[in-house]
């Protein structure tokens, strides 16, 4: 193959790839978030995350197990959530994927992949991280075993009054 | 094309190719993400893909035209025009192609290892998995883009080679790339395979915790070792096969490959590294055994047999590489039918083994002598149990290193006895002796500095404190071992030097006619003729040429006068 033809083939392939990528990204944006069976551990985590994102802390708090709620009152949870949001800073976006889950009797573990994006434009940075959430079966419903602020443990951010 | 223009074109091609490759990789990654390779999110939007797509299009939009124009100009100058041949043979071009191939293969190897890890983690999921979040789409894209770039440049090189003979950098730079990749592929493969063998031994033994041998679980260790073994094997086999194919080919490329110094140097390098790694692995197991005997290890995290078997298993790939390369080298030399090459191969093999054995043996001996000095002179190094751990480690090195050296060196001494002049004039032997002396001298520098520091400190009344015997025993031990090496090898070198002039004189009558292209028949007649040497002298300004001509005119038939 001649020099000009091989360069032309490469250029043509890349232009075609650009067109295909644009179409795929446009179509992918129309996709709805993944839905899970009602009552499954995954659905509990999704409900919690949606509530957290919407600022509905009551629903988020109700996703925790009885033992977890005894360790932190709702008022403390609200204060801790506020502190967490303040410490997080702006211009951070997270996308959460469920990697896999395991169920062992009345305990379940959900393994998440969290894609965090900072900044914008040419300053944008993305990194991927893995988290796991433990759940317990309570009265036939799956509850998150530890109180969380987003995906972090709430106790790591709790404010303790002096004295 | 002048050098400056050539440099400009290749530099621009390199920079724009990098921009283009990054853009193409990002573009493909975004497309694969869109196709669902990353999964569907349960939370959060995904504006990142649009941003990544914008950036990818920008990079491709900038990189593609700049690269296409410059690469087209480069290739046009090689394939057409009066200077085409000079361009094809340019060292800069060979350097560019070798560097691009090396960078692409390095990135491909990293991406391929990542891909294998992802596959293994899907098959053997772990909690708290460091590798679990590697981006599959990004890895596949990287692999695809660099593979395409590598293939394009490898094909360009193939066309250059097919165009006719290449010399200098144009010939050896791409060869260096091939052997460097072959070497590192082999090292990574052997290391990975050794780790897999270790894990297998621990697993089969039924040891409850794989942490007994090292941190992490079976799955974690396999996830580390398997990608290295697979990718290393692929890099080693593919590049070694390519080199062998070139060496077996007819024409200039095959001939150039067969006589290449890089190819020749690769062989002893692999043998040396394999010998080194084998001893390191085996010494690990032996140190555990000696630790038990000396009572330094009271609690074993796994049974003694398992720990020794695991160390031996890790050494097996290296031992196999050592043996195989030794055999391949000797077979290749034998295949030429040249006894000289056979001797050279055997000599090289033995000297490399001797050098590695000497290195381990000398370090261990230096340490052991140091401890002995400490004990005899009442130092404090043997207080406590720490020194026993070191003792088992260095004893293991001595037990493995010294026999290796003695085994090889005794055979080399036998060779020297059989052919003193031949061995004395051997470049391999001289290189070994000088290397041993040089490394020994360099290694004594630190020890000498410590000894002088203590001595000067004592003379100046600096009050350095500490136990002088204990601080000096290690450097003194090292100095004694190094001095022994320098003296012994120096004497060997001197003895060789005394034999060498005689050997050179004996070789001279053969070498001179060969360089003067005298027919062998004439050489034979010349060697059997009776002769005496004369010297013609005269006063300043005398015409000696005329006298010589006159003398030649009166010589009897069959006799000649030749100028020396």
- pLDDT for A93-123, tens place per residue? 888 888 888 898 899 999 888 888 877 666 7
Rounded CA gap, B369 and B382, in Å?
13
Integer Cα distance of B443 and B157 in angstroms: 43
Say what the pLDDT of residue B516 is: 33
CB < 8 Å to A46, chain B: 42-43
In this model, does residue B126 exceed pLDDT 80?
no
pLDDT (0 to 100) of residue B68: 95
Distance between CA atoms of B347 and B337, rounded to whole angstroms? 17
Cβ of B30 within 8 Å of Cβ of A21? The answer is yes
The C-alpha of A49 sits at a distance from chain B's nearest C-alpha, in angstroms, of 7
- Tally of CA atoms within 13 A in the half-sphere of A104 that contains its CB: 4
Chains A–B, number of C-beta pairs less than 8 Å apart: 134
Nearest CA in chain A to B21: A14
Beta bridge partners of B43: A96
User: Is A37 in the B-facing interface, judged by CB distances under 8 Å?
Assistant: no
Dihedrals phi, psi of A107, to nearest 5 degrees: -125, 145
Residue of chain A whose alpha carbon sits nearest to that of B44: A95
CA distance B400 to B360: 8
Q: What is the CA radius of gyration of chain B?
A: 32
Q: How many CB atoms lie within 10 A of CB A91?
A: 10
Q: For residue A137, what are the β-bridge partners?
A: A142
Averaged over B344-348, what is the pLDDT?
A: 89
Q: Do B50 and A25 touch (CB under 8 A)?
A: yes
Is residue A91 within 8 angstroms of chain B, CB to CB? no
pLDDT exceeds 80 at position B481: yes
User: Any CB–CB contact under 8 A between A129 and chain B?
Assistant: yes
* Cross-strand bridge partners of residue A93: A117
Q: Is B34:B46 a contact under the CB 8 Å cutoff?
A: no
* Under 8 Å between Cβ of A117 and B48: yes
Cβ distance B34 to A27 less than 8 Å, yes or no, reads: yes
Q: How many Å lie between the alpha carbon of A4 and the closest alpha carbon of chain B?
A: 7
Contact between A14 and B27 using a beta-carbon 8 Å cutoff: yes
Question: Judging by DSSP bridges, how do beta strands A125-138 and A107-118 pair with one another?
Answer: antiparallel
A135 strand-pairing partners: A108, A144
Give the residue from B22, B32, B44 with the most A CB atoms within 10 Å of its CB, the best one to mutate: B44
Longest dimension (CA), chain A: 82
pLDDT at residue number B510: 38
Digit-coded pLDDT (tens) for B413-470: 999 998 888 888 899 999 999 999 999 999 888 888 888 888 888 788 776 667 777 8
Q: Which helix (H) or strand (E) holds A95?
A: strand A92-104
Distance from CA of A97 to the nearest CA of B (A): 5
A94 chain-B contacts, CB cut-off 8 A? 43-44
Measured at the CA of B267, the angle between CA B266 and CA B268, to 5 degrees, comes to 100
A42–B42 CB contact, under 8 Å: yes
Q: Does A49 touch chain B (CB under 8 A)?
A: yes
Task: List, in order, residues 6 or more apart from A29 with CB less than 8 Å away.
Answer: B46, B49, B50
Chain A: residue whose CA lies nearest to B153: A6
pLDDT at B167 over 70: yes
- pLDDT confidence tier of residue A1, bands split at 50, 70 and 90: low
CA-based R_g, chain A, Å: 22
Return the pLDDT at B304.
Answer: 79
Contact A18 B51 (CB under 8 A): no
How far B440 CA lies from chain A's nearest CA (Å)?
A: 49
pLDDT for the residue numbered A130 = 81
Q: Is the pLDDT of residue B514 over 80?
A: no
Q: What is the dihedral of CA B374, B380, B382, B383, to 10 degrees?
A: 170
pLDDT tens profile B14-42: 999 999 999 999 999 989 988 877 777 77
pLDDT tens, position by position, B145-155? 999 999 999 99
Which one has a higher pLDDT value, B464 or A142? Answer: A142
Cα–Cα distance measured from residue B471 to residue B227, given in angstroms and rounded to the nearest whole number: 45
Of the residues A18, A31, A112, the best mutation for testing chain B's interface (the one with the most B CB atoms within 10 Å of its CB) is A18
Residue A160: pLDDT band with limits 50, 70, 90? low
**Which candidate from B34, B44, B71 shows the least CB-CB separation from A93?**
B44
Please name the residues in contact with A9: beta carbons below 8 A apart, sequence gap of 6 or more: A1
Compute the CA torsion angle B505, B509, B512, B513 (nearest 10 deg): -170
pLDDT in tens, B39-89: 777 777 655 678 788 889 999 999 999 999 999 999 999 888 778 888 899
Q: How far A140 CA lies from chain B's nearest CA (Å)?
A: 23
Average pLDDT of span B277-294: 90
Angstrom CA distances, B493 to B273, B404, B436, stand at: 26, 21, 11
**pLDDT confidence of residue A158:** 72
Burial string for B149-162 (b: 16+ CB within 10 Å, else e) reads bbebbbebbeebbe
Give the number of other Cβ atoms within 10 Å of residue B513's Cβ.
16
Q: What is the pLDDT of residue B318?
A: 96
**Residue B515 — pLDDT band, cuts 50, 70, 90?**
very low
CA distance linking residue B351 with residue B411, whole number of Å: 10
Q: B520-548, pLDDT tens digit by residue?
A: 343 344 445 567 777 777 777 777 777 77
Domains of chain A, by residue range, sit at 1-31, 37-156
Residues of B in contact with A4 (CB under 8 A): 72
Length of chain A: 163
Q: Which residue of B has its CA nearest to A4?
A: B72
Give the range with max mean pLDDT: A1-5, A74-78, B459-463. A74-78
Structure ipTM over 0.90, yes or no: no
**Separation of alpha carbons B333 and B314, rounded Å:** 30
Which CATH class for the A37-156 domain? alpha beta
How many CB atoms neighbour CB B358 within 10 A?
25
Say whether pLDDT at B519 is over 70. Answer: no
Cβ contacts of A3 on chain B, cutoff 8 Å: 72, 75-76, 79
Rounded to an integer, what distance in angstroms lies between the CA atom of residue B379 and that of residue B371?
A: 9
Say how far residue B346 (Cα) sits from the centre of its chain. 19
Long-range CB contacts for residues B432-439, cutoff 8 Å, separation at least 24: B432/B351, B432/B354, B432/B355, B433/B489, B433/B492, B433/B493, B433/B496, B434/B493, B435/B355, B436/B355, B436/B358, B436/B485, B436/B489, B437/B485, B437/B486, B437/B489, B437/B490, B437/B493, B439/B359
């Amino acid at each position: 193959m001649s020099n000009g033809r091989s360069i032309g083939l490469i250029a043509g392939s890349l232009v075609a790839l650009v067109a295909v990528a644009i179409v795929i990204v446009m179509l992918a944006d129309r996709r709805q978030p993944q839905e899970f069976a009602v009552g499954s551990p995954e659905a509990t985590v999704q409900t919690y995350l949606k509530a957290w994102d919407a600022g509905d802390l009551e629903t988020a708090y109700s996703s925790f197990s009885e033992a977890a709620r005894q360790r932190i009152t709702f008022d403390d949870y609200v204060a801790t959530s506020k502190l967490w949001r303040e410490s997080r800073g702006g211009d951070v976006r997270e996308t959460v994927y469920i990697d896999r889950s395991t169920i062992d009797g009345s305990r379940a573990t959900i393994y998440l992949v969290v894609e965090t994006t900072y900044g914008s434009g040419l300053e944008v940075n993305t990194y991927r991280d893995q988290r796991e959430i433990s759940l317990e079966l309570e009265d036939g419903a799956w509850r998150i075993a530890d109180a969380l602020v987003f995906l972090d443990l709430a106790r790591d951010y709790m404010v303790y009054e002096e004295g | 094309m002048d050098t400056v223009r050539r440099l400009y074109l290749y530099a621009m091609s390199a920079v724009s190719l990098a921009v283009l490759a990054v853009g193409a990789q990002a573009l493909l990654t975004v497309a694969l993400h869109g196709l669902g390779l990353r999964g569907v999110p349960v939370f959060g939007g995904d504006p990142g893909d649009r941003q990544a797509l914008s950036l990818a299009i920008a990079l491709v939009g900038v990189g593609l035209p700049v690269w296409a124009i410059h690469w087209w100009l480069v290739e046009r100058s090689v394939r057409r025009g009066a200077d085409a041949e000079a361009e094809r043979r340019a060292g800069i071009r060979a350097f560019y192609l070798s560097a691009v191939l090396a960078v692409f293969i390095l990135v491909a190897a990293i991406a391929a290892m990542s891909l294998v890890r992802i596959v293994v983690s899907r098959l053997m999921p772990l909690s708290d998995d460091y590798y679990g979040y590697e981006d599959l789409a990004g890895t596949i894209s990287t692999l695809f883009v660099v593979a395409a770039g590598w293939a394009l440049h490898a094909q360009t090189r193939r066309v250059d080679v097919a165009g006719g003979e290449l010399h200098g950098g144009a010939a050896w730079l791409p060869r260096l790339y091939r052997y460097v990749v072959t070497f590192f592929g082999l090292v990574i493969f052997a290391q990975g395979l050794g780790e897999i063998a270790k894990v297998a031994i621990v697993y089969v033994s039924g040891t409850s915790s794989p942490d007994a041998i090292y941190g992490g679980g079976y799955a974690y260790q396999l996830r580390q070792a398997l990608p290295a073994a697979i990718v290393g094997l692929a890099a080693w086999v593919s590049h070694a096969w390519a080199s062998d194919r070139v060496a077996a080919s007819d024409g200039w490329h095959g001939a150039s490959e067969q006589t290449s110094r890089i190819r020749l140097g690769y062989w002893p390098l692999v043998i040396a590294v394999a010998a080194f790694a084998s001893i390191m692995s085996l010494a690990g197991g032996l140190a555990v055994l000696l630790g038990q005997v000396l009572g330094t290890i009271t609690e074993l995290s796994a049974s003694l047999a398992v720990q020794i078997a695991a160390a031996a298993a890790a050494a097996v790939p290296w031992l196999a590489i050592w043996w195989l390369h030794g055999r391949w080298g000797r077979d290749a030399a034998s295949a030429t039918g040249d006894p000289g090459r056979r001797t050279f191969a055997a000599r090289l093999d033995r000297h490399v083994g001797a050098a590695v054995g000497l290195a381990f043996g000398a370090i261990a001996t230096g340490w052991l002598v140091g401890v002995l000095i400490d004990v005899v002179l009442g130092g404090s190094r043997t207080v406590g149990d720490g020194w026993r751990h070191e003792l088992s480690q260095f004893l293991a090195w001595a037990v493995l290193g010294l026999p290796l050296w003695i085994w090889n060196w005794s055979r080399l001494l036998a060779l020297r006895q059989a052919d003193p002049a031949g061995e004395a004039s051997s470049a391999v032997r001289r290189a070994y002796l000088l290397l041993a002396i040089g490394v020994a001298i360099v290694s004594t520098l630190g020890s000498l500095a410590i000894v002088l520091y203590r001595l000067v400190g004592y003379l100046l009344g600096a009050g350095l404190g500490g136990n002088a015997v204990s601080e000096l025993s290690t450097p003194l031990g090292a100095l004694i071992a190094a001095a022994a090496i320098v003296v012994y090898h120096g004497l060997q070198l001197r003895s060789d030097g005394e034999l060498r002039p005689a050997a050179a004189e004996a070789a001279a009558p053969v070498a001179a006619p060969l360089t003067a292209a005298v027919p062998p028949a004439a050489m034979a007649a010349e060697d059997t003729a009776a002769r005496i040497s004369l010297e013609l002298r005269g006063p300043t300004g005398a015409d000696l040429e005329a006298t010589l001509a006159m003398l030649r005119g009166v010589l009897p038939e069959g006799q000649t006068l030749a100028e020396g």
